[in-house]
Amino acid sequence: MERMPALYIGHGAPPLLDDPVWSAELKQLAGSLPYRPKAILIVSAHWESAPVTLSASRAELVYDFGGFAPHYYQMRYDTPDASAFAQRIAQMMPDGETVHQHRTRGLDHGAWVPLKIMFPEADIPVLQMSLPTHDPASLVGLGARLRELRDEGVLVIGSGFLTHGLPFLKEFRIDAEAPGWSKDFDAWAAEAISKGDVDELAAYRSKAPGMPYAHPTVEHYTPLFVALGAGTSVDAPAEQIIDGFWMGLSKRSLKIA
> The domain spanning residue 16 has which CATH number?
3.40.830.10
Does any domain span residue 68? yes
**Residue 249 is inside which H or E element, if any?**
strand 249-250
Phi, psi of 141 (to 5 degrees): -65, -40
Does any domain span residue 92? yes
Q: Quick check: 7 and 256 in contact, CB under 8 A? A: yes
Is the predicted pLDDT of residue 65 greater than 80, yes or no? yes
CA angle (53, 55, 57) in 5-degree steps = 130
Among residues of the chain, what percentage have pLDDT more than 90? Answer: 89
Least confident of 100-104, 152-156, 193-197, 219-223: 100-104
Position 59 scores a pLDDT of 79
Is the predicted pLDDT of residue 182 greater than 90, yes or no? yes
Q: What is the mean pLDDT of residues 40-59?
A: 95
- Total H helices, total E strands in the chain: 8, 10
Does any domain span residue 1? no
Does any domain span residue 40? yes
Q: In what order do the strands lie in the sheet with 126-131?
A: 100-101, 53-54, 126-131, 39-48, 154-160, 6-10, 253-256, 239-242
Does the pTM surpass 0.95? The reply is yes
Does any domain span residue 123? yes
Does any domain span residue 60? yes
The structural domain count of the chain equals 1
What band does 95 get if pLDDT is binned at 50, 70 and 90?
A: low
Does any domain span residue 76? yes
Residue 153 backbone zone (phi > 0: left; psi -120 to 50: alpha; other: beta):
left
Position 102 scores a pLDDT of 94
Does any domain span residue 121? yes
What band does 256 get if pLDDT is binned at 50, 70 and 90?
A: very high
Domain assignment of residue 90, given as a range: 6-256
Position 233 scores a pLDDT of 86
Is the predicted pLDDT of residue 97 greater than 80, yes or no? no
CA 162 from chain center: how many Å? 10
What band does 174 get if pLDDT is binned at 50, 70 and 90?
A: very high
